[in-house]
């Protein structure tokens, strides 16, 4: 049975923190879907198509990765793609408390879906999309936090 995983997020923008988690998760799964969750309560800085394009460009040489966008519950997306695992990255203890509550809810909704937590490498602990967006809004240089395709398109 194939180990299929969904890594959900907004990826607004995709950061080196995201790619760190994805790259280290690749050996664990046969297929890894990166899912951009549509959230009507959030207004993204970057369009969905831009975020999809970045992820597809970053992982164009990786056959185990597929990129998609989805509406609704993450566990329903898992069901539609046949994923039994959800991948989440953890930076701080606070992240774990929040993510565990979501994992518990997802487990209640879909008993067959297990959440896997990976901690980010120390050099990426401070790299959060929210902080990166704030730096961008205030004219700062975020290039050290971004994968090349993202950095390249933002700096134009």
- Among 56, 91, 107, 133, which one carries the catalytic annotation? 91
The four Cα atoms 98, 101, 104, 108 give a dihedral, to 10 degrees, of -130
Answer yes or no: 18 catalytic: yes
Please, which residues bridge with residue 35 across strands? 8, 68
Q: Which helix (H) or strand (E) holds 23?
A: helix 16-25
Cα 99 from Cα 115, distance rounded (Å): 9
Cα 153 to Cα 84, 146, 149: the distances in Å are 34, 11, 6
Answer yes or no: 108 catalytic: no
On whether the CB atoms of residues 102 and 36 are closer than 8 A, the answer is no
- Among 3, 38, 42, 60, which one carries the catalytic annotation? 42
By annotation, the residues acting in catalysis are 18, 42, 91, 129
């Amino acid at each position: 049975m194939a180990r299929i995983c969904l890594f959900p997020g907004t990826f607004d923008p995709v950061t080196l923190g995201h790619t760190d988690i994805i790259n280290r998760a690749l050996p664990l799964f046969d297929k890894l879907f990166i899912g951009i969750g549509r959230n009507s309560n959030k207004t993204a800085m970057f369009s969905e198509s831009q975020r999809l394009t970045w992820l597809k460009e970053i992982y164009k040489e990786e056959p185990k990765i597929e990129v998609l966008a989805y509406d609704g519950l993450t566990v329903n997306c898992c069901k539609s793609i046949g994923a039994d695992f959800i991948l989440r990255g953890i930076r701080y203890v606070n992240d774990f408390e929040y993510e565990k509550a979501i994992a518990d809810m997802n487990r209640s909704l879909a008993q067959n879906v297990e959440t896997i937590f990976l901690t980010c490498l120390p050099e990426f602990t401070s790299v959060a999309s929210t902080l990166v967006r704030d730096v961008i809004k205030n004219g700062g240089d975020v290039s050290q936090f971004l994968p090349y395709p993202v950095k390249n398109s933002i700096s134009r």
